[in-house]
Amino acid sequence: MKFFAVLLLLTLSLALDAFEGYNKWVGVFAKECGFRKQEIVTALQYKALLQKIKPWDQKGYFVSDLKYGDGKWVAVVSQGDAVFSEKIISDGRWVDFREKMRELWKQGVWLVDLEYGMGRWVGVFSDDLRYKAQYYSANSEIDRLDYLIDEGWSRHYKLTEIAFGENRWVLIFAKGTKYRNQRYERADSWSDAYEIIEEQWSKGKDLIEIEYALGKWVMVFAMHTGYLNQRYMSRNTLEAFVSRAKALREKGYFITDLANGW
């Protein structure tokens, strides 16, 4: 019996090592997250993605999440109570994108999601979010994120978004969110990341943001999200991920965040 137990552990270890070596799409799902309908739209080029999004816009859907990974652009389009309008802007340089972002903030149009891919920053904005203010911090050193996040929390802001591009980590903070008791974590591997996720879930905290870059998984957790029965799912190909996401959607689970990494 002991021999078979050791053999099982070895097999699982080898399987996990192999799993770590592949690119993977990771989705965070939840019930009671404000969405009633959801679809996944994919394209190889950003402009092609925008064209594919248009028909969904006309049907009352909005882009709730954007991700670039493994040579593909992915948009999660949703319908529900969370966000009703959207404005998508992009630019090739962060210094130019941030100026557009600041102008929208002055108008009370807040950032919903931020992504970088193929030399382009893309932001999804909406004036339906009940935020009071937003600001950003950026740094090229991941070890500085702890300080920047603590600084944001000390100013009574909540961390809502993390993105990486042009060799910089960008943090987006907001006032007026419903989040409470936030926690920031990072991991060197997916196996370490999902152990952290399971630990935080056991403490009653939901995963609201997950991002991968330069061999690191970074995660943000919070309480008072309104989510019910949160879970994650990962697949090594986008096709397999989309298929599984459809099955989960039929059970009432909707994507609240999307990541791509190794």
CA dihedral of 88, 92, 94, 95, whole degrees rounded to 10: -110
Q: What is the pTM of this model?
A: 0.90
CA distance 240 to 47: 24
CA distance 241 to 124: 23
CA–CA separation, 85 and 57 (whole Å): 9
CA dist., res. 245 & res. 239, Å (int)? 10
The DSSP code sequence of 32-71 is SSSEEEEEEEEESSHHHHHHHHHHHHHTT-EEEEEEEETT
* Beta-sheet strand order (sheet of 216-223): 180-187, 216-223, 206-213
Per-residue pLDDT tens digits of the chain, which is 262 residues long: 433 343 433 344 334 443 566 899 999 999 989 999 999 999 999 999 999 999 999 999 999 999 999 999 999 999 998 667 899 999 999 999 999 999 999 999 999 999 999 999 999 999 998 899 999 999 999 999 999 999 999 999 999 999 999 999 999 999 999 999 999 999 999 999 999 999 999 999 999 999 999 999 999 999 999 998 999 999 999 999 999 999 999 999 999 999 999 9
SS3 109: coil
Kind of pairing between the strands at 62-69 and 72-80? antiparallel
